[in-house]
Amino acid sequence: MTLAAEVGGAAPAVRRRLPLTVPAAILGAWALAVVAESTGKAQLLHHDALIQGNLPFLVALLLFLVAWQVMVAAMMLPSTLPMVRMFRVASAKQDRPGAVLAAFVGGYVVVWTAFGAAAFVGDLGLHRTVDALPWLQSRPWLVSGAILAVAGGFQFTDLKDRCLDKCRHPGVYLMRHYGRGVDTAFRIGRGHGLFCLGCCWALMLMMFAAGVANLPWMAVLTGVMFYEKAGQRGRAVTPYVGMALLAWAALVLVHPAWLPHAVAGVA
């Protein structure tokens, strides 16, 4: 059955609504972030605290990934809601539509979980490099400024633009790759997640630097990523964000006082 036929045969109620579990997950993630920040518990799951603590590596990684899921749900799911709604409508007449939708979302989450794990491992290597170079250890703003520069420079790349284009037009992607079954749903979600990762990884790397449940950074970066994908002038905003980040990186490298405390903790 074609995608058009699947959508046309869906009940009107399905066409109008998102599954409640998705907005509930977003609201729940933000609520957890608020509680973690207000109680001071968020710092216990910051990657720096986990890396420098006495926990075995795998335990530290697992704890971080649990907290990372909260950030993914709070920050990335809002901008993928149009795709989730389209997929739910398309898959409503499949066998076990709930399982099919869960597989789609699962594929998306797996991509971001893998990125979180890679960032955690990379940060461990960065810490060891800094520890081995006293001159860099005494200048942590160089690492943080470099992260800002990478995030800013990536805003101007062709990869960013191409991946954003896929995320801005989720219906086109779904029409090209739609199929029935749980396995296919997982692959569609994974593919969509890869495009989402392709356009947002550098900005999320800044969130990784700031730490889990850092509410001001979560709010700002979520707003930027959401508007880039869904805003009427999202394409026009992207280079301005890049210029702002590059200017900020230059200020940090010249005068470290411009580095906010949250990002200063990256190194």
Predicted TM-score (pTM) of the model is: 0.85
Query: What are the residue boundaries of the structural domains of the chain, listed by start?
Result: 3-264
Q: What is the mean pLDDT of residues 182-194?
A: 95
DSSP secondary structure of the chain: --HHHHHHTS-HHHHH---THHHHHHHHHHHHHHHHHHHTGGGGGSHHHHHHSSS-HHHHHHHHHHHHHHHHHHHTTGGGHHHHHHHHHHHTTSSSHHHHHHHHHHHHHHHHHHHHHHHHHHHHHHHHHHHH-HHHHT-THHHHHHHHHHHHHHTTSHHHHHHHHHHH-HHHHHHHH--SSHHHHHHHHHHHHHHHHHHHHHHHHHHHHH-TT-HHHHHHHHHHHHHHHHSTTHHHHHHHHHHHHHHHHHHHHH-GGGS-HHHHTT-
pLDDT in tens, 210-239: 665 578 888 899 999 999 998 888 889 999
Model pLDDT, residue 10: 52
* pLDDT value at 21 more than 80: yes
Among 158-172, 200-214, 226-240, the least confident range: 200-214
